[in-house]
Amino acid sequence: MLLQRVITALVLLALLLPALFYPAPEPLCLLAIVAIAAATWEWGRMNGMAQPKSVALAMAMVFACLLSWIMGLLTAHTPTLWTIAGAAWVLVGGWLLRNGARGWANIDKIVRGIVGFAALWLAWLAICQARVIGTNFLLSVLLLVWVADIGAYFAGRAFGTKFFKNKLAPAISPGKSWEGVCGGMLGVLVLAGVWVWADHAWASPVASLYTRLAQHSGILLVVAVLFMAAMSVVGDLVESLIKRSAGVKDSSGLLPGHGGVLDRVDALLPTLPLAMMLVSIVG
């Protein structure tokens, strides 16, 4: 199992890194279409769609992404879109976590399909617009999610239930603890501080998300980073409750040893649009 996980991770990195660091954004945007289409197929399957309908939903996502590309949305200034997307994630995400797997199951399948389609399309557009801004900017958003996840894992393993009596969301994801959340937040604060210093020390031609926030206000940087780390947890928990509603452990088996694409990008679904919202606000 470990060997399988390592091989899959190496293959994914071999695809991601050249596309990420290519001088132009097109390779990464194309790779992101493939990933988002696969995640859309998984979404359809987890929400009761038959195989042909799930495939059709994935093909519709490919068409929507390509149409958005042709229409010039990758380079468009869309602050209203990102503000609406950010607010929707906060409100809908909070509602879903409050109502749990049963609340999700009671929503009409068509509505669930539309919600998932919109969330995945927005994540694709956000990653493309972030890459258009620059690799340093996009990396700063991706690393925030990964560091929050890693920090939460090790803090949870080391201190789980030591300081907080209750688990984070035992009915949705029994393994997650408040100690883990705190560890993740501490990790992203350190990451943000180091990245701001590195941008200044190396005179980065493209400012990271953290530097853009810090130039506006140090308090904004701290609040925004903690907020995004919290929303990455929301994204993870929302996918967990959908899987629990569907009665599955993983979104699919597309990534051997890692589950499905949604299992790997769930925390990015809210944080990518929120990052674009924040950069739209601060300029």
**Per-residue pLDDT reduced to its tens digit, 200-244:** 999 999 999 999 999 998 999 999 999 999 999 999 999 999 998
How is residue 108 written in tokens?
């009409």
pLDDT of 68: 97
Predicted confidence (pLDDT) at residue 134 exceeds the cutoff of 80: yes
Select the more confidently predicted residue: 252 or 119. Answer: 119
List, in sequence order, every residue forming a beta bridge with 281; answer none if it has no partner. Answer: none
List, in sequence order, every residue forming a beta bridge with 255; answer none if it has no partner. Answer: 259
Tracing tokens 């190496």 back to the chain, one arrives at: 10
Report the predicted TM-score, pTM, of the whole model to 2 decimal places.
Answer: 0.94
